[in-house]
């Protein structure tokens, strides 16, 4: 049942040389919580509303090349991984927010780590979900790599005809199936989500492929020990994409970090995980934002 929480329409916000598609929930006077994603649809309205109901100002947005944010030619992204991290800070500046609790799943976890490391004064707390402490490419020798079933899918499953909407949706559903954990897979919900994503993405091919071409820059794993913000690491125990050992490694390397195992969960975040995840996130207690410390300004495109 929807909660009675103020939600903005999704709109484009200009950050540097990119337009990012943003939706906000709740009052800007509350502590900010920022949710980047490879599709803002990943963060369901109810999830964001529950955070807003718990006195958080939630910003949910599509990172570059995804959803309705600025898209680039396939194979030629006009940005590096650290530009995506800088976009987080740019959004905080546009909304006149001094700090935010950053929440990143999978690839978005990379950019949240980088933003926290490069701009520690702008991050009040950090939640990292099903991600790892290294950039695209082979895993470090001490970290578990993609499972065999993921590698087989990536190397042996032919890409769909990107102009064929039905074929692309089928491909996305199968990808979701491969990433699911032992708690089960809801094919109907996966198809619903894939259909919504395909229908609202400006350049679907670039959205699914361009992150593989992004320049990762310098390693950051060795810097994790410098983080001082409250940090939650939530990780599916059956994650085949970034296996559970990656989450355990980050907890060992980030001072004071807390590990939340998501039992039976793969590379996914179904509603069955929300209660325990939201409770753990809100327990981090990021610093409060006063009326003088935040504003409503936003440059829209």
| pLDDT of res. 275 | 97
Q: Is the pLDDT of residue 4 over 90?
A: no
Name which residue leads in pLDDT, 40 or 239: 239
Q: Is the pLDDT of residue 291 over 60?
A: no
| pLDDT of res. 182 | 94
Contact 30, 56 (CB under 8 A): yes
CA distance to 69, 193, 231, 286, 294, per residue, from 164 (Å): 22, 17, 42, 45, 45
| pLDDT of res. 300 | 42
| pLDDT of res. 114 | 97
Contact 95, 299 (CB under 8 A): no
| pLDDT of res. 286 | 57
Mean per-residue pLDDT for 6-18? 92
Q: Is the pLDDT of residue 288 over 80?
A: no
Q: What is the pLDDT of residues 182-214, one digit of tens each?
A: 998 999 999 999 999 999 999 989 998 888 889
Q: Is the pLDDT of residue 3 over 60?
A: no
Q: Is the pLDDT of residue 294 over 70?
A: no
| pLDDT of res. 40 | 74
- Split at pLDDT 50, 70, 90, the class of 296 is very low
- Split at pLDDT 50, 70, 90, the class of 5 is low
- Split at pLDDT 50, 70, 90, the class of 263 is very high
Mean per-residue pLDDT for 113-136? 96
CA-based nearest residue to 285, from 60, 31, 27, 5: 31
CA-based nearest residue to 190, from 210, 209, 171: 171
Q: What is the pLDDT of residues 17-64, one digit of tens each?
A: 999 999 999 998 999 999 999 887 899 999 999 999 999 999 999 999
Q: Is the pLDDT of residue 293 over 60?
A: no
Q: What is the pLDDT of residues 125-179, one digit of tens each?
A: 999 999 999 988 889 999 999 999 999 998 999 999 999 999 999 999 999 999 9
**CA pair distance 177, 17, nearest whole angstrom:** 36
| pLDDT of res. 137 | 84
| pLDDT of res. 212 | 85
Contact 19, 42 (CB under 8 A): no
């Amino acid at each position: 049942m929807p909660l009675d929480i103020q939600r903005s329409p999704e709109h484009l916000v200009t950050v540097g040389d990119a337009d990012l598609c943003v939706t906000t929930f709740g009052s800007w006077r509350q502590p900010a919580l920022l949710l980047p994603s490879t599709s803002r649809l990943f963060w369901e309205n109810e999830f964001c509303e529950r955070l807003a109901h718990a006195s958080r100002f939630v910003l949910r947005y599509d990172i570059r090349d995804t959803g309705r944010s600025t898209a680039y030619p396939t194979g030629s992204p006009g940005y590096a991984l650290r530009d995506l991290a800088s976009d987080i800070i740019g959004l905080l500046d546009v909304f006149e927010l001094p700090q935010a609790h950053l929440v990143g799943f999978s690839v978005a976890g990379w950019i949240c780590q980088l933003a926290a490391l490069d701009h520690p004064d702008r991050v009040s707390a950090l939640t990292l979900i099903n991600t790892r402490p290294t950039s695209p490419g082979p895993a470090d020798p001490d970290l578990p790599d993609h499972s065999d079933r993921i590698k087989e899918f990536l190397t042996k499953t032919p890409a769909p005809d990107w102009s064929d909407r039905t074929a692309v949706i089928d491909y996305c559903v199968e990808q979701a199936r491969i990433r699911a954990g032992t708690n089960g897979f809801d094919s109907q919900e996966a198809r619903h989500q894939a259909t919504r994503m395909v229908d609202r993405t400006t350049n679907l091919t670039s959205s699914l492929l361009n992150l593989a071409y992004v320049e990762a820059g310098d390693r950051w794993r060795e810097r994790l020990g410098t983080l001082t913000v409250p940090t939650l690491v939530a990780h599916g125990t059956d994650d085949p994409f970034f296996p559970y050992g990656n989450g355990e490694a980050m907890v060992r390397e980030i001072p004071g970090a807390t590990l939340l195992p998501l039992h039976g969960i793969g590379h996914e975040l179904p509603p069955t995980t929300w209660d325990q995840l939201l409770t753990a996130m809100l327990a981090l207690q990021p610093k409060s934002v006063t009326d003088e410390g935040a504003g409503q300004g936003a440059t829209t495109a």
